[in-house]
Chains A and B, each alone.
Chain A
Amino acid sequence: MDSKKIRTIVVVAVFAIMAIGLIAGIQFGTLSGFGWDTFSAICPIGAFATMLATRTLLPRGVISLIIMIALILIVGRAFCSWVCPVPVMQRIGNFFKRKSVKKAEDDARAKELRDIATYELSCGKKCATCGGCKQEHPKLDSRHAILGGALASTLIFGFPVFCLVCPIGLSFATIILVWRLFGAGDITWSVILVPALLIFELVFFRKWCGRICPIGAFQNLFGRFARPFRPQIDDKKCIETTAGKTCSKCAIVCDADINLRHPAFGEHTLDDCTRCRACVDVCPTKAISMPFIAKKGASGAPVMQVADPLSGVKEGK
């Protein structure tokens, strides 16, 4: 079983358990506030926002933030591919797309990435050792601006603003509303408007995760220091380094738009790796691994070779 299937099962199972808990009144909470009884791990954005809005330090909020940051420092953005329901919902959305359209899009993406590989390989130097294509990625992008905007708006208007439109919150709300509609005969426009807003967000912003989501931005801020389980290419096995042939399958498969072999050309860097293992699965020569401790000699993205992980902070970005 490939990890995509396992991932989907994990995401659906977590969501289903929480949804059943909501319906049956068993206390698991939702992803916004997960826990039993008085124990709660709060969504980091929610915890931050609620503390900003009430201008108080909440013990549960502070502890939740510390736990979340500690987890992110180990596994980076793993939440995004292993727990968050949004990518799975987007895949469900893709399911309704016309096959020809979908194929054309996939082909265009594959061609673009293969062309990049061909172009880079054509320079005649060995990719792994060359470093000529190294290019610095912006340390912050639109997601971080939206995270800042959400927190600024919370500070000004004094309530957790992003929670109103958070797709994770909206998906649990949809479950409750549909259940209340049929279970309790509770008729409200919310039962149409909440899912409509959710669908609008996911369909209209197809790159929600990589360009909008402030939760992803938060994880990126700390995930950039997370070294464990980052994918690494073994250059002795990689087709592009051993045979000089265009492959780039790892880049084509990456949902986070990271180009593992040619990092300068990816929209994101390994700082945004969600540990989904898609690249490990797809690699035709099994050259990619995700070790707990990075092996020396094997190459990942150049950003991995930055000696001082705090350099980005020192630059004041």
Chain B
Amino acid sequence: MEEEKEKQPEAPQGKKRAHSVSRRTFVLGVGGTAVLMGLGALRYVGHNPICRPPGGQDEIHLVDACIRCQRCYEACPRDVIVPAHIEDGFLGMRSPTLDFNNNYCDYCAEENEGRPKCVEVCPTGALVLPAGATAQSTIIGRAVIDERTCLAFRDTGCRYCYDACPYEAVVLDDYAPYPRPHIVNDKCNGCGACEAACVSLKAGSIAEGATERAVVVRCLDAL
């Protein structure tokens, strides 16, 4: 980058002046830029579909703006926002996703009068809601029931998900002896209440080969 300037003789031990090593500057500068361009190209590799917190439904905008500052993770009163795993792709790593193991997203109805805190704190506007957005119009994802592992489909009469759903998006059919749950796609916004309530992975009720709960929220891109 900069030309070496030798205005005066070298120091006695023949050491070059540290700051005038232009080759190193050049190599580091070009190498670093190349690495960053390569990282940028990850954009075209993409990542697995990831469920986003409210306001992150425009995936392109979210990736554009998220600086992985973890403010939303910290702000979430129900601790459902978590950093995405590297398994979902390096590009998505540490960006916000949702984990409904213990709780679900109620759009901060209880905690903040229905204004999601993650959206409020997001400093870069990566999480941003369109005007007039409500909990029901914000489609985080959609619940999917796995009939192979669902306890209700093994005639246990389990109906936790039905009881948990705040939007009447889980309905029970007339199956005898016990009714079975089904998801009403139009009503489900992917809040995760059913997943949080599902007991299919709890001790004593594990179906063979099950690695996740019988009802899980999938983001729309993954369906």
* Chain A contact residues, CB within 8 Å of chain B: 21-22, 25-30, 32-33, 35, 37-38, 40, 42-43, 46-47, 49-50, 53-54, 56, 58, 60-61, 64, 112, 115-116, 118-119, 132-133, 135-138, 140-142, 144-146, 148-150, 152-154, 156-165, 169, 172-173, 176-177, 180, 184, 186, 188-190, 193-194, 211-212, 257, 264-268
Contact = CB atoms under 8 A, between A and B. Distances in A.
A58 B5 contact: no
Interface string B10-24: 011101011110101
Given A135-B7, A156-B40, A159-B63, A37 B121 contact: yes
Most A CB within 10 A of own CB, among B13, B30, B76, B86: B86
Contacts of B30: 145
A160 B125 CA distance: 13
Contacts of B32: 142, 145-146, 149, 212
A78 B29 CA distance: 24
Contacts of B64: 50, 53-54, 158-159
A153 B73 CA distance: 27
A266 B90 CA distance: 38
B37 A33 contact: no
Interface stretch (B93-101, B139-147, B189-197): B93-101
A135 B41 CA distance: 40
B10 to A, nearest CB: 9
Interface residues of B, number: 64
A50 B65 CA distance: 5
Q: Which 5 A-B pairs have the closest CB atoms?
A: A145-B29, A149-B33, A33-B69, A157-B40, A40-B123
Contacts of B26: 142
Nearest to B2: A138
A47 B67 CA distance: 8
Contacts of B86: 188-190, 193-194
Contacts, number: 230
A211 B22 CA distance: 12
Given A116-B15, A176-B70, A265-B17, 19 more contacts: A22-B74, A25-B77, A25-B79, A28-B74, A29-B70, A33-B69, A42-B69, A49-B67, A50-B67, A119-B11, A132-B8, A146-B28, A157-B43, A162-B36, A173-B70, A176-B73, A180-B82, A188-B85, A194-B94
Nearest to B90: A164
Contacts of B33: 145-146, 148-149, 152-153
Contacts of A267: 18-19
A35 B69 CA distance: 11
A21 B74 contact: yes
B17 A46 contact: no
Contacts of A257: 18
Contacts of B182: none
A185 B43 CA distance: 30
A116 to B, nearest CB: 5
Interface in B27-58: 28-30, 32-34, 36-37, 39-43
A49 B86 CA distance: 22
A142 B36 contact: no
Given A153-B36, A164-B91, A33 B67 contact: yes
B93 A46 contact: no
B68 interface: yes
Contacts of B22: 138
Contacts of A132: 8
Contact of A22 (B15, B73, B94): B73
B214 interface: no
B121 A161 contact: no
B172 interface: no
